[in-house]
Amino acid sequence: MGKSARKLKESLAQYYDRRGVLGELDVRPVEFALEEELRRQILGGERARRLQNISIKLDPAQIQALRKIATMKSIPYQTLIRQWLAAGVRKELHLPEANGARGRAARNR
């Protein structure tokens, strides 16, 4: 089988299993800016919570683990997911920890 024939028969999953994805990642910093007023509100804890429903597909084992961890912290698992997402966003954007987040995190350990 020639190289071009193999490419046609190989799925993306097989291609990345064989080759890996790390060589294709772009690790350059991404510039991201918030409007100054929005940034001030977020950092000052003044922003009113307006939650929006989303739908994501998760592995059932991950959901079970989330529920177990949330139970150990005595919080709903959706709250745990929101906390982890917020912490991840702050880390990626190099934002300081939100006011009061450290105290809540310590209480939930």
What is the predicted pLDDT for the residue at 78? 92
How many Cβ atoms from other residues are within 10 Å of residue 15's Cβ? 13
Predicted confidence band of residue 25 (pLDDT cuts 50, 70, 90): confident
What is the predicted pLDDT for the residue at 77? 94
Average pLDDT over residues 55-75: 93
Predicted confidence band of residue 106 (pLDDT cuts 50, 70, 90): very low
Choice between 61 and 29, residue whose per-residue pLDDT is larger: 61
98 close to 43: Cβ distance less than 8 angstroms:
yes
Q: Which of 39-43, 66-70, 100-104 has the highest mean pLDDT?
A: 66-70
Choice between 30 and 104, residue whose per-residue pLDDT is larger: 30
* Residue 97, SS3 per DSSP: coil
Range of the domain at 60: 3-107
Reported for 29-34, long-range contacts at CB under 8 A and 24+ positions apart, including other chains, are 32/93
* Residue 101, SS3 per DSSP: helix
Predicted confidence band of residue 99 (pLDDT cuts 50, 70, 90): low
Q: What share of the chain is helix, strand, coil (3-state, %, to 5)?
A: 60, 0, 40
Q: What are phi and psi of 29, to 5 degrees?
A: -65, 145
69 close to 80: Cβ distance less than 8 angstroms:
yes
Average pLDDT over residues 4-16: 68
Count how many domains the chain has.
Answer: 1
